[in-house]
A and B are shown apart, each in its own frame.
Chain A
Amino acid sequence: MADPFENEEASYLVLVNHQGQHSLWPEAIEVPSGWQVVFGGGGRQECLDYVAANWTDITPRNRSPR
């Protein structure tokens, strides 16, 4: 079966949640609640490049310092 996240032909979005975590997302599928579109629709690599450039730390944003 085809993987909706591995389709080089498809159009994708980049989503971000409240913790600043990013997710690649197939444009053909409804955006889940709690996520905002910050990039796209665009090619898969284009979206991943956006993520690489804009999400520098994979640890959640709201980690509070002591």
Chain B
Amino acid sequence: MNRADIECVLPLTPLQEGQLFHAEFDEDGPGLYNMYLSALLSGPLDVAALRSACARLLARHQCMRACFRRNRENQIAQVVLREVPLLWRQIDLSGLPEPERAERLERLERETRTERFDLAKPPLTRFVLVRLAPDRHRFILCTYHAVLDGWSSWLLLGELARLYEQGGDASGLPEPPPLEDYYRWLAKQDRAAAEEAWRTSLAGLAGPTMLAPSGPERWLAGSERFGVRLPADLVTKLQALTRGRGLTMNTVFQAAMGLALGTATGQSDVVFGGTVTGRSPEVPGIQNMAGMFLNTVPVRVRQDLSRPETVAAMLARIQAEQARLIPHHHLGLVDIRRAAGRPELYDAHLSFQNFPGAGTTGGFPMSDVRTDVRTDYTLSIAVQASGDVIDLDVEHRLGLFDRERADELAARLVRVLEAAATAPDVPVSRVPVLAAEERRALLELGQGEPATAGPDLVPELFAARAATVEPGLTAVVHGDVEVSFGELAGRVNRAARQLIAAGVGVGDPVAVLLPRSADSVVAMLGVLAAGAMYVPVDVSYPPERVRFMLADSAPQVVVTTAELAASAEWPGGARPLVLDSPEATLEAAAEPRASTDGPVDPAERRARLTPADPAYMIYTSGSTGRPKGVVVTHQGLANLFAFACGEVIEPAARRFGRRLRASLVAALSFDASWDMVLWLLAGHELHVLDDDVRRDAHALVGHVRDHRIDVVEVTPSHAEQLVEAGLLAQGGPSVLVLGGEAVDAGLWERVARTEGLMGWNFYGPTECTVNSVVARVNGDGPVIGRPVPGTRAYVLDEWLRPVPAGVPGALYLAGPQVALGYWGKAGLTAERFVADPFQAAGGRMYRTGDLARWTRDGVLEFLGRADDQVKIRGFRIEPGEIAAVLTESPLVSQAAVLPGKNGLVAYLVLADADAAHDADAGELRRHLMTRLPDHMIPSAFVPLDALPLTPNGKLDRDALPDPGAARVPAGRAPRTRQEEVLCGLYAELLGREPIGIDDDFFALGGHSLLATRLTNRIRTELGAELSVRTVFRAPTVAELGATLAGARPARPALRRMSRASRTLGPQSGR
């Protein structure tokens, strides 16, 4: 083209830039951004007049003569030529028979719509006239969208009608101002103010709203579209709503889209793209200009969860929020995203166009006007309102968002419109976004099978078993001790009588502080037979924690050993009781009915025991600094037993045709220990494994083989170790239960494909009686499965409404297994055990804090935590509890604990900044060890000048330094053969070399699980017995070596570091 041919060169609007970017990206695809308009012309047609009217349009409007070229700086500019040819095509289909004619027309329309333009070659507009019959024509205008927007196309159509009537004469039509006026206005806009407005508008958004994973494939996937016409009475009601409340139709559709997207994504605060006209009244004559002035901007629809808001109030709020942004509509999406600090915001789009009714002037009778703009969104809904007709044009990307989901979403949007129009004064939370049937189906999905009726008191379960089983059969095995069913029943009954005689009443807490043994099982069942609440206290816990648990549960009686009874201090009121001791026996003998081993009669108890009474209490980590006791009922445990019997135990026993041997690996203070005790209640043999067996993977696998153990239950992380040690080889268990934490895909597959193995995955918070949702380990990948009988699982959104399948939500559990609450903590109980909106009779549901979703196959998938809680080796840990205990140390003024790659990391602000250099990490570790169990001891301590905070005062996690980022290199080399071996073991377990004797095991990524393995390896290599606790106390090779030799060296000091500079473990004091 010659310079003389050029009328002007214009810059691009942000939207034009975006469209051209996609055009360049997608060079071979169909014309994605073609704008297409097709109208039926009825009556006799003067083709020559129409053709000259079209030519006149080209002459009148610069945009019809524009193309896109790169300048010397390689920037794309819009070049307008003085003259361009008219691209005119005329096809006659009138001679064809009907089905063929329609087919040809459709093909022709499709081809015209998708044919690409060469963007450097004007014009970027084609006209096609199809003769269907002598008095019926289809007229098609197809333009590259970046030169012409939808509003302009209607302007052109109107002008075309006038020009046609006037034989191509433009007199009476207003002269359009030059496009340059618009671009000049655009350049003058205050970008800084706009950026600020958008930043404010998007502040606090939880995340992008995505219907499908993002990625370039989105632009390449084809799309399909379908139309939805709103019922006429709905349109009438919507018109009344908007008129009566001063709302725009656009606002109502935006709100409806927001709610529908919220349901599709499980979010109450969503954002999607919206089209704005960009036609600022500040540009004189803009109403007569044709061009591309549109922009797409984010539309945020936030549901206010903090207080009741009616639909009408929400609509008014959204309209006001949107109105404030109008002066800032000129800013491009790229700049908006940058201002908001989000590279990605949404993948759904809503446009609203009010068409001024087709320009049906007498001489140019147009009807059936169809428009079509393809977009690159996962889902795009174009609302086209024309008079009393409102159509939704829904486009969805194939392979990313299928027709079924698009239909669902459109139906939900219409349902919201219906609700808004019918009852604008109800709270937003009550708008039925889901169809009633869908909601019902989701609730039914979460409903476990009906619970089977049976005894609902645990002592009855055991007594019934003891009465039917051959008394000589082995019940409990621990080391060399074997207890028969007859003997066990007798001892349990005696224990119950001794407890009742000691004054224990129904529901009263009785602590059991015993070393792991057959006696532990006797005590457990004895406490329950007495009608009391069993409170296991782990003897291996630090004394301070034991003291706390005893003080908190305030038991009248503590069942313990003679040795502990004599030596320990007992908090006020608690009385140690040694079962079968002369004192206990004597006391019981004083009771009239207490002289035998026979079954405990309910009348012997101090009150009537009911299924709703507490059966046991398990302490779990509490975020406020102290563990909390979860009080579980008899009916909960009985319900769990019914499930275990019916679905796990009996099928396994039937398959093998004999009694099975179940092994208790879990700590008795861990509620999962009940799973194996249930096998005992079902008449099978319970093997209580000792600490030295259960803590050593090879020993455990050996034990399973040697004792022909059938049933093993462990946490997945423990299972990984056991599998590595050969658990699943020949002679392994026939039932493997995984529980306590998420199972990864590798382990899942390994268990699923082990022939003959019945694998189970048990999910459940302690608050819902051990297990609530269960799955057989088979099929494709990890799921948590289906609720156990009697239990209901709800996956809910932020309004406590069921979320559709495939959408993440919060998991809530209801049914007989829901615990009574937290011992002595009414506030905390009322927070987590909340009213169940799906049950009429004032029932409660437990808020698990876990995120989950229903798969389309109707099983639950676990998606992580909604809060800070972490799981270490199946133990539930509230990092807040550790932080609270840390700040109790005089050395620490502030602390935050977070999970890291290699265990927990404690970030500290030390109390005395000057004395900090002398502070000792070992001192802090010791402080924690006297108060917390091993699995709660952080593996790294990182001192900081201050905890980094976000603008709103919360801990800024992203600003915390990585504890492994800048470690101090290895120190002294080993001096002895023993230190050499230890350095080798460190290197082996930590996977790094070299190791110096002053390197801290935990600072190098060691965690409690690895520490357990270290003690195992030390036992094998050096023949020395060390506890995990010792490793925590002496984490360097030098210290460990000294411990092994019986002496303790001085330990290095802890240094403060400035944030994000270097990491400190105790070794860096050198």
Contact = CB atoms under 8 A, between A and B. Distances in A.
A32 B836 contact: yes
Contacts of A47: 830
Q: Which of A7, A19, A28, A51 has the most CB of B within 10 A?
A: A28
Interface stretch (B83-91, B730-738, B820-828): B820-828
B826 A30 contact: no
Q: Which of B309, B842, B866 has the most CB of A within 10 A?
A: B842
A65 B608 contact: yes
A2 B839 contact: no
B797 A1 contact: yes
Contacts of A15: 835
Given A24-B830, A51-B827, A30 B266 contact: no
B613 interface: yes
Contacts of B607: 65-66
A34 B829 CA distance: 18
A4 B799 contact: yes
Interface in A30-54: 30-35, 41, 47-49, 51-52
Given A21-B844, A60-B612, A7 B827 contact: no
Interface in A1-37: 1-7, 9-11, 14-15, 17-19, 21-35
A23 B866 contact: no
Interface string B863-903: 00011000000000000000000000000000000000000
Nearest to B610: A63
B613 A58 contact: no
Interface stretch (B299-307, B370-378, B694-702): B299-307
A11 B613 contact: no
A49 B299 CA distance: 39
B866 A1 contact: yes
Interface string B601-616: 0000111101011100
B309 to A, nearest CB: 7
Interface residues of A, number: 45
A47 B841 CA distance: 23
B276 interface: no
B306 A48 contact: no
Nearest to B429: A29
Contact of B830 (A6, A22, A26): A22
A1 B809 contact: yes
A34 B833 CA distance: 15
Contacts of A19: 842
Contacts of A7: 305-306
A51 B826 contact: yes
B797 A56 contact: no
A40 to B, nearest CB: 11
B927 interface: no
B455 interface: no
Given A32-B835, A63-B610, A64-B610, A27 B307 contact: yes
B306 A59 contact: no
Contacts of A59: 507, 612-614, 631, 820
Contacts of A51: 826-827, 829-830
A5 B307 contact: no
A26 B610 contact: no
B825 to A, nearest CB: 8
A41 B607 CA distance: 40
Contacts of A58: 631, 820-826, 829
Main secondary structure of the interface of B (DSSP, over half): loop
Interface in B567-607: 605-607
Given A11-B306, A49-B827, A56-B826, A66 B608 contact: yes
A49 B820 CA distance: 19
Nearest to B603: A66
A66 B307 CA distance: 45
A9 B304 CA distance: 11
B835 A3 contact: no
Main secondary structure of the interface of A (DSSP, over half): loop
A45 B668 CA distance: 35
B206 A1 contact: yes
Interface in B779-819: 797-800, 808-810
A58 B613 CA distance: 11
Contact of B799 (A29, A56, A66): A29
Contacts of B608: 64-66
Nearest to A60: B612
Q: Which of A25, A31, A32, A66 has the most CB of B within 10 A?
A: A32
B425 to A, nearest CB: 14
B814 to A, nearest CB: 11
B196 interface: no
B831 A5 contact: yes
Given A51-B827, A56-B826, A59-B507, A28 B834 contact: no
B830 A23 contact: yes
A4 B305 contact: yes
A14 B844 CA distance: 14
B306 A10 contact: yes
B1047 interface: no
B306 A5 contact: no
B833 A1 contact: no
B842 A35 contact: yes
B430 interface: yes
Given A2-B798, A65-B608, A28 B823 contact: no
B1051 to A, nearest CB: 41
Contact of B308 (A3, A28, A52): A28
A33 to B, nearest CB: 5
Contact of B834 (A5, A48, A49, A55): A5
B267 interface: yes
B703 to A, nearest CB: 40
Q: Which of A29, A49, A52, A56 has the most CB of B within 10 A?
A: A29
A4 B820 contact: no
A10 B430 contact: no
Contacts of A29: 429, 799-800, 837
A4 B269 CA distance: 13
B439 interface: no
Nearest to A47: B830
B843 interface: yes
A21 B821 CA distance: 10
A49 B831 CA distance: 11
24 contacts: A1-B810, A2-B798, A5-B832, A11-B307, A23-B834, A24-B831, A25-B835, A26-B305, A28-B306, A28-B308, A29-B800, A30-B427, A32-B835, A32-B842, A33-B840, A34-B843, A41-B307, A48-B830, A48-B831, A56-B826, A58-B822, A59-B614, A60-B612, A66-B608
Interface of A: 1-7, 9-11, 14-15, 17-19, 21-35, 41, 47-49, 51-52, 55-56, 58-60, 63-66
10 smallest beta-carbon distances between A and B, as pairs: A34-B842, A17-B842, A10-B306, A66-B608, A58-B821, A48-B827, A55-B826, A32-B837, A22-B830, A23-B835
